[in-house]
Structure 1
Amino acid sequence: MQQAWRAALLRFDAHGQAVHDSDGLLVTQRDAAGVRRVVAAGSHATLAPQFAQVPVTHLPGRLIAPGFVDMHVHYPQLDVIGSPADGLLPWLEHYTFPHEARFADPAHAAEVAAFFCGELARHGVTTALTFCTSHPASVDALFTEAQTRGLRLIAGKCLQDRHSPDGVRDETGQSLIDTEALIKKWHGVDRLGYAITPRFAPTSTEAQLRGAGALAAQYPAVWIQSHVAENVDEIAWARALFPDSRSYLAIYADHGLMRRRAVYAHCIHFHDDDRALMRDTHTAAAVCPTSNLFLGSGFFDFAGAERVPFAHGLASDVGGGTSFSPFVTMRAAYFAGRAASTGVEPKPGISLSPERLWWLHTAGAARALDLQGVVGNLQPGCEADFVVLNPGATPLLARRTAQAETLAELLFALIVLGDDRVVERTVISQAK
């Protein structure tokens, strides 16, 4: 059965340009697998005669936009968000690892997974690439919850067989056995995908990284995720542990962990040869502006990523990141873009347009995840994950958006002044 919604409508064309209908119509229909897909999207005046018999939900004053895509988030770090620390490594030692040790308990993992998935949906995030802990039970708990809710979610067990405390450190051989078993159990089930997940190079031995690379070659449809070039102390540590690799990023390439569907968070302290390696291997960056600011790591060089172009999109990085809200993330990305880069090749800042920021958290992020045309957009054939946004959710926002004369002004007001109150409803394409 087809179903339609009438409201202002935002989507993106094949070139990443925003397409806006001030009075739009979105028509959807479930496929044989039970996934609701977009049948048509465009002007109400144009489409209404063709779909006159389809039930319509009219939402005056609202904006329907693609569900947001979060390219990097840690569900086990839900309870360490907002924890003070001097920087990345002390934060991991004092907060993250002790909390992650608790995920050996399946009941604890299930309780956090339920809250986490609820927060994603409440903030309008309908697709996420997610870290679990080193415990297989943490993966099972998250996938079970996401499957129940119909979320499109990609996740994986952390691989960390050294330089990690008791309770989160795993054993090399067993970690790879567990990873393969989880791939076979969960990858491709409903809207779920598996990601091979070395925590970051310093917490894996060469044997574990080689094993992860072998699994990545054996299962080319799964994703790969890790961290790289976030913090100068971390970079020095990685280079000391892997002296034969050209750079921190090259460690992953040297172990078969850079390819399409590989995503590395942060990518701050890059040279152009690192950017070229990302480009040439079709590897993507998850840009995490709120955690980079919170932990004092530096700023992603958006200009560099355009000069030597490689795929990238936005991410919350909760719990180092400070909010699940895509509006907070887009706002921080705008600030970070305007700032001069603090990377190894300092560059002047650039001004990211509101349309570009929105694309980087929807269709652009989907493209970086190799899910272009599947999620992150509302073009025909896409899975119908979308959000209903209220531009008048707060008095100040209502006052500002009422004066918006262009799409750019409307989107920018939502980015600067918006938060979870803007998200009136989140629609999941496979929700029962």
Structure 2
Amino acid sequence: MSLTTILGRTVDDAQTPLLLAEILDLLLAEPSPVRFTAYDGSSTGRADAEITVSLNTPRAAAYLATAPGSLGLARAYVTGELQVTGVHPGNPYALLVAMDQLKWRRPDVRTTMRIARSLGMKRLVPPPPPPQETLPDWRRALEGLRHSKIRDAEAIHHHYDVSNTFYEMLLGPSMTYTCAVYPNEQATLEEAQYNKYDLIARKLDLKPGMRLLDVGCGWGGMVRHAAEHYGVKALGVTLSAEQAEWAQQEIKRQGLEDLAEVRFGDYRDVIEGDFDAVSSIGLTEHIGVRNYPSYFEFLREKLRPGGRLLNHSIARPDNIHRARVKGGFIDRYIFPDGELTGAGSVIVALQNAGLEMRHEENLREHYARTCAAWAENLMANWDAAVAEVGEATAKIWGMYLAGCSNGFGKRQIELHQILAVRPDERGHSQYPLRHTFGV
């Protein structure tokens, strides 16, 4: 260990407080491709790096020290205590790709103690989180059991009732907040969203006069598509009051009142039954893995014998049981109480509920492209978006969309469509010998 002479005394370097850039260097196994600067005057990383991360205040250091990983980074970034140059806040995709290249190492006990002493006790006390952050899991538990109707309603309100005007900027004319299906490399987002709804309609074999139930219907995109293009009488249900209001106005504007309806309420409160088809597009992620049996049993009971279910949901790339991730960026800022499992587990659950799986496909590359398109919309409308929801919320969405695009692209998460049918009591499915929906 080297020695340094200070004020005429010889001092062990291990007792000298570390600067923030020095702490980062101790935690990295390889040099950072991102330039890092700190309020204490220290810096590290390539001098010619395109991206610079600046830790501007002691509070920013406290956020990172007390919530390592995505949560601490998000807190510092959202509050502006940490700033990033070289990327647009509406789409910091390049930052996340660069951060993926960082190779970390676990410090030994002596190094850990030295880092703690250098930071000081004040940096090891968590500062108050930004107001955009939802309550921690234990506080949410005081409001009701996870996935109870009351708690589900609050979780949906947190994410979906941001602002319909903001979502119009983000999602575009389709107002569709689920994975699009791109028919070709040149297709626009709107073309891909139309194609997604039409693919689902074909998989469900919709025909004039049929009845469709769309659970977790969002702004009513599937409901309106089925009514307008297939002559189907469609009912959609959403827990977001703002979504329901927007959807009903759009249904009226399109003159579809005789066929289409969107209700504000819990899908579990739908009393109608004997539907020809049920679509669940982006709802399964919100209901909890333990609730899959009752969820698919409920949907099965809503179908007539021979009726079809299309389940469209995000999934893990494996079926290894994992505890729900608590306290990360996604849980505290985006999807409170959200939970994922593998597509195989979803198929097992629907089969155990008496449904027969007939077709399955993974569309994860389409979701990477969809999230990138939403991020482009956010950048294009950045000033208006900030004026509508505030810079902090807009930055949260930029980080979220960039992270999702990156995650789908490298198969951290997937998107699966599963087509199932309710056989009759003799096992007859009314399904043709070959699929008729094409691609």
- Give the TM-score category using the shorter length: under 0.3
Q: Which has the higher strand share?
A: 1
Structure 1 or 2: more helix by fraction: 2
Question: TM-score, structure 1 length as denominator?
Answer: 0.27
Question: Which protein has the larger Cα radius of gyration, Structure 1 or Structure 2?
Answer: 2
Q: TM-score, normalised by structure 2?
A: 0.27
Q: Which has the higher contact order (CA 8 A, sep 6+)?
A: 1
